[in-house]
Amino acid sequence: MRTRYEIPEHAPAPVEAVEQAEGGKVVYLTRKGRRVAAVVPTAVAEHSDLDDLEAFWEAQENQVREACRRMWAAVADEDEDARRAIRESIDRILEEIEDAADAAIASAAMTRRSLDGSGIPLAQVVRDFAEWRGLSS
């Protein structure tokens, strides 16, 4: 999740921005509506290499999956309607973390390609993505 804080000229970053970054959020600092800086979780800043980024997001996905398992176990004694609602929420959470991971990795790959001036064929992107997601044979 990304958050935005408008900051006056020469003002320090809001404490809330740092606290949200500690909580795993990317926080953009803006002046006159234009992004001027980002406060990011340390783990994100330390994982600039694409392979490291993939490992980072895989770890994030695993943490979310484990939290969902605990949540599911906690509702074992609930009625069927409650369990169905929880299951739907869990499915949405897992889908969203997977989408976030995919988007972050794709964005990093595109940024890296644009910075080094090289291109990458779409077919290669599709093969790499399928391999990364375990879909290749």
One digit per residue, pLDDT tens: the chain, 137 residues?
456 667 677 777 678 888 887 777 788 888 888 877 778 777 666 655 666 777 788 888 889 999 999 999 999 999 999 999 999 999 999 988 888 887 777 777 766 665 555 566 667 777 777 777 666 55
The pLDDT of residue 54 is: 77
The pLDDT of residue 111 is: 65
Other Cβ atoms within 10 Å of 97 Cβ, number: 19
Which of these, 64, 63, 86, lies nearest to 75 by C-alpha position?
86
Contact 22, 41 (CB under 8 A): yes
The Cα 81–Cα 46 span in angstroms is 43
Q: pTM score, two decimals?
A: 0.48
